[in-house]
Amino acid sequence: MSKRAVERPIPIRKAVVEHDMLLAALPHPILVVSDGNQIIYGNAAAESFLSTSAVMLTRLKLDDIIAFGCPLLTLVEQVRESGATVNEYGVEMASPKFANAKLVDVYAGPMNDSSQLIVIMLQQRTMAQMIERQLTHRAAARSVSGMAAVLAHEIKNPLSGIKGAAQLLEQGLSDEDRALSQLICSETDRIRNLVNRMEVFGDERPLAKEPVNIHDVLNHVRRLSETGFGRSVRIIEDYDPSLPPIPGNRDKLVQAFLNLLKNAVEAIGDNDEGQGRIIMQTSFRPGVRLLVPGADARMSLPLMIQIEDNGSGVPDHLKPHLFDPFVTTKHNGTGLGLALVAKIVGDHGGIIECESEANRTVFRVLLPMQDRSRKDAPISRRPFLANDRRG
């Protein structure tokens, strides 16, 4: 076959070149396919999404990177036959390039300059699912709040009576029977501690907020872990030193991120022979604006804090319910830790989301920045010291 035979027709190449700058600037994965589903263009976002270089993409057909039977192939054929734009939401996209199938929204249509070309834009549904899950998490937290108030009054008082009666009986028991009364006391203490933890969900008082340097919080959390549960894990810090303060409660934020860091350490476990790694990262993302409950307009959540570990990951069946109360993968866990983290983040006007696959789990928290327009909210832009970063 001659070189000219495999070259793309001049009009096709011209149509792609003329739109190259526009397509390259879009943040979503963009593919352009010609007849036979031959890929002739992929932008930088598509390279990242498919873990394949643009040069390699142009040597493949859409059928090569999409699993057989994927609805995306049918949508492209529909566009080719009708000549009209097609939008499809919630398409499960399976590919040899992915460890697991990804849920995407698909926008496909003919390129204006050439009916031979079809433009495909993929939008992973992470942000949409994030909003939906946050509403579910907060509804679950509210239901637990009501239950916690009932438990506090209806269970703690009888528990005190049960423990007191067991202690009185213990005085006249033999050594053999005394062990049983002590078991009653220890179990009532365990139930009381569980109820005390649940009482936190019933606290609906507004937080007393002040400008908080999130890097001070993360540094404190890291030091706590290094002196205890995180000694065997390497912690890597990747901080943006220019982040402005967060309006929040420092103690609550320490509690939330300490819980996330402890979960990351436990997910890595003791079987990695010193290969355990956790990345604590902060960054500024000014384009993130979400409509959150209790707000009249979309709120800006530009401050991103994420904790990534290389543990075994979250089981697929638990991912939709990860922040619900009483959901846990631990043998002795209560399933209240992540539910409490979600409540603390929600009380700060933010959202939390988890992405997990084999050897990579990321808990991502998005928070608002301090309102500079308020005169009663002093701003401290004390930067995090870059030379304190360690690998």
What spatial distance separates the first Cα and last Cα of the chain, rounded to whole Å?
A: 53
Taking the CB of residue 207, how many other CB atoms lie within 10 A of it?
16
Better-scored residue on pLDDT, 17 or 375: 17
Residue 137 has pLDDT above 60, yes or no: no
For the 210-388 domain, the top CATH level (class) is: alpha beta
Helix and strand numbers (H, E) in the chain are 12, 14
Q: Return the pLDDT at 149.
A: 61
Which of 163-177, 217-231, 353-367 shows the lowest mean pLDDT across its residues?
Answer: 163-177
Q: Return the pLDDT at 4.
A: 38
Spans of all domains in the chain: 3-124, 128-202, 210-388
CA atoms within 13 A on the CB side of 214: 30
Rounded CA-CA distance 97/93 in Å is 11
Q: Return the pLDDT at 253.
A: 93
Better-scored residue on pLDDT, 375 or 24: 24
Rounded CA-CA distance 321/326 in Å is 10
Residue 91: both structure tokens together: 């398409």
Residues 6+ apart with CB under 8 A from 389: 237, 238, 239
Residue 114 has pLDDT above 70, yes or no: no
pTM score, two decimals? 0.53
Q: Return the pLDDT at 219.
A: 93
Percent of the chain with pLDDT over 90: 12
Helices 156-170 and 126-154: angle between axes, nearest 10 degrees: 50
Residue 118 main-chain phi, psi, to 5 deg:
-125, 130
pLDDT band of 291, cuts 50, 70, 90: low
146-204 pLDDT tens trace: 566 656 656 777 887 888 888 888 888 887 788 888 888 888 887 877 777 666 665 66
What is the average pLDDT value for the chain, to the nearest integer? 76
308-331 pLDDT tens trace: 998 888 887 787 778 776 666 665
Topology of the domain comprising 3-124 = Beta-Lactamase (3.30.450)
- Which DSSP state fits 61? B
Residue 8 has pLDDT above 50, yes or no: no
Q: Bridge partners of 235? A: 278
